[in-house]
Amino acid sequence: MKYGIILNTGSIDQLGDLAASAEQAGWDGVFYWDAVHVPDLDEMHDPWVALTVMAMRTSRVRIGGIVMAVPRHKPWIFARAATSVDHASHGRLVLPLGLGALDDTGMAGVNENTDIRDRAERFDETLDFLEKAWTARPFSVHGKHYTTAEMTFLPPPVQKPRIPIWIVGAWPREKSMQRVLRYDGLLPNKLKPEGGQEPVTPEDLRAMAEWVRERRGTLDGFDIVTEGKTAGLDPKAAAAVVRPWAEAGATWWTEAEWRGSYDALRRRVEQGPPTLD
pLDDT, tens digit (0-9, with 9 covering 90-100), for 205-246: 999 999 999 999 999 999 999 999 999 999 999 999 999 999
pTM: 0.95
Name the band, by pLDDT with cuts 50, 70 and 90, for residue 107. Answer: confident
CA dihedral sign of residues 199, 213, 222, 248: positive
Which pLDDT value is given to residue 74?
96
Task: Identify residue 192 by its one-letter amino acid code.
Answer: K
What is the pLDDT averaged over residues 46-74? Answer: 97
CA nearest neighbour of 99 among 77, 73, 81, 76: 73
Name the band, by pLDDT with cuts 50, 70 and 90, for residue 258. Answer: confident
Higher pLDDT, 134 or 104: 134
CA nearest neighbour of 75 among 177, 175, 137, 146: 146
CA nearest neighbour of 75 among 121, 44, 137: 121
Name the band, by pLDDT with cuts 50, 70 and 90, for residue 43. Answer: confident
Percent of the chain with pLDDT over 90: 85
Please check whether residue 182 is in contact with residue 188, taking contact to mean a CB–CB distance below 8 angstroms.
no
Say which DSSP state 161 is in.
Answer: S
Dump strand ranges (E) for the chain: 2-6, 29-32, 62-65, 68-69, 95-98, 165-171, 185-191, 197-198, 223-228, 252-255
In this model, does residue 78 exceed pLDDT 80? yes
Please check whether residue 250 is in contact with residue 1, taking contact to mean a CB–CB distance below 8 angstroms.
yes
Give residues with Cβ within 8 angstroms of 124, minimum separation 6.
Answer: 179
3-state secondary structure of 139: strand
Higher pLDDT, 109 or 61: 61
